[in-house]
Structure 1
Amino acid sequence: MRSRERRRSILRATTVLMVVAALIWLGGFMWFATGLPHDVEDPTSVTDGVVVLTGGSNRLASGLDILAAGKAKKLFVSGVHQLTSVTQLQRLLKREPEMFECCVVLGKAAENTAGNASETSRWATEEGYRSLRVVTAAYHMPRSLLEFRRVMPGVLLIEHPVFPAHVKLSQWWRWPGTTSLIATEYSKYLLSLAWMQFLGSSSDRWSTDA
């Protein structure tokens, strides 16, 4: 009898914990979704460089427009396929070859957002850059900035979101595809945040042991 009551108590406690966790996740998701950028807040500031994270429409075109407008010295494209060349991109986008020859650099090491941040940090350090404009999709911006700030705490980062046509940020709840995309991105954001906290606590522990 006691064993049965104990199992019921454990089941009730587990159910309550799951409900509380779901409510916390839902509240955080609402905060995340409503806080996504809907425009470029600072389109005019000049930065040392501009970085484009590959993986979505209009990102590279926006980065090239920024470069052509004289808002940055060089453009770094992170996460490019190993076989892609600067010349191929120039021909594909039909832009001035001189701009690509002098001012476009391809990063081919990154396979994810954390990798984007790492290879961009190396490039910025080599160039001596202290400010960057970050170009990626609006829904991807929070996690990108999280990773970039982790590896480049002393670099000024200006967000420059782009807005893919298939992602309906306005009234996102009416679009199941957009809702699913934002929910997935929010979960990835939480994982990145948790991983950063783990790395920080591990670093503190090792420093104390040393």
Structure 2
Amino acid sequence: MSQPTLTLHGLRLSGHSHRAELFLSLLGRPYRFVESPGDVRASEPFRRLNPLGQIPVLVDGDVVIADSNAILVYLARRYAPGSDWLPDAAETAAQVQRWLSIAAGEIRFGPALARLMILFGAQADRDAVEATATRILSFMEAHLGRRAFLAAAHPTIADIACYSYVAHAPEGGVSLEPYPAIRAWLGRIESLPGFVPMPRSPLPTDA
């Protein structure tokens, strides 16, 4: 059996890394996961992969892709061309891009940052972070109250980009109890063939 050509550099407890790992699993692509602690990410070899020193980074032969959302786009186009994961139709593609932006914006600075504050001691204005989390989760709840998935009638990379940090919002003290439509959507993602969970943090939280 040939060795997998794909290598994913990341952290198991990182939602950014998990969205890339989850999509690789959903696609059924063999890959090698390389845990990249902070001192490694500051090293010269890793900086050659991504000068910004950020994870995840996907290495596919001679191709190196940094940024989790960029990795999702690359994988969809490279290993699932023409599939529903990244539709070609202009309107649906625009909706996918909108949710990729939300994943990198409101979700990152809401539920994801709340989790970083509790688990890893990140410094931020807690009230502002919670307000951002409430705003985006309320928006998602209303949106998912009318549809099964975020950007289309079927799962797309938009759902994969948004899943990890929303699913783990309680680790940041952000309850999902007020959001039944979001919880139902999380269940639909978790029922997809090939789904792999992100590990729960071993650190104590108030959630």
Asked if TM exceeds 0.5, the reply is no
1 or 2, which has the higher helix percentage?
Answer: 1
1 or 2, which has the higher strand percentage?
Answer: 1
Between 1 and 2, higher relative CO (CA 8 Å, sep ≥ 6) is seen in 2
